[in-house]
Amino acid sequence: MNAILRPWQAGASGDAEALAEVYKRADEALLSNIPDDRTIAGARTWLETITDAEDAGDLCARAIVGEADRSGRRILGNVMASGTERRHSSACISYWSVTEARGHGVVSAALRSLVDLLHDELGIHRLELGCRVSNPASAAVARNAGFIVEGREREKLLYDGIRYDAEVCARLSGDPRHSGPRVPFTPPR
């Protein structure tokens, strides 16, 4: 599956309509990773929040975009580092994808690209993520991007009133890089 990574675009000609369409078609796996307001206004708000935080240097988010449809945009997913902590040089990783992008390795490849950017260009030493123990696909994405399981946090995550244990994973800038493919970046906005 061909894809590129690019910054999310807010504003009048941005990604709000395409993102609202993703929200509309979201399955159970995606619903827990997207905002509660799944309208076009909610998509605009999320995009403005993300782009403002990125401009402030508080996070790094990239849209995974597939071959264009008639609208010119086909959002396949998101990879993001948030909670950037400059003193200790760490950030929290998250990712999501639409149903049709799963199982093709595109999210793992996108995450490997983001990891390279965060370590090599942004100088972030420690990247952390947590994935639900009952979500082996998310754990596979983390493992395929070179993350190492460090432990388990009991009842860490809450989805629809149910608590789930999470595997805590991390990778350090000095850890061996995963040799798998990467998703190319477009130039920054």
Residues 78-87: tens digit of each pLDDT: 999 999 998 9
Taking 80 as the threshold, does the pLDDT of residue 16 lie above it?
Answer: yes
* pLDDT single digits (tens) 99-116: 888 889 999 999 999 999
Mean pLDDT of 88-92: 96
Of the chain, the end-to-end C-alpha distance in Å amounts to: 24
Cβ count within 10 A of residue 140: 15
Mean pLDDT of 107-128: 97
The whole-model pTM stands at 0.90
Residue 70: predicted pLDDT: 45
Task: Give CA 187 to chain center in angstroms.
Answer: 18
For 46-79, letters b (16+ CB in 10 Å) and e give bbeebbebbeeeebbbbbbbbeeeeeebbbbbbb
Taking 90 as the threshold, does the pLDDT of residue 163 lie above it?
Answer: yes
Tell me the pairing of strands 126-132 and 90-97: parallel
Taking a C-beta distance cutoff of 8 angstroms, is the pair 166, 131 a contact?
yes
Strand partners, 97: 77
To the nearest 5 percent, what fractions of the chain are helix, strand and coil?
Answer: 30, 35, 35
* pLDDT single digits (tens) 22-75: 888 877 777 666 667 778 888 899 999 999 999 998 999 999 998 765 445 689
Structural domains of the chain ordered from first start: 3-172 (3.40.630.30)
**Structure token digits, residue 101:** 């992008």
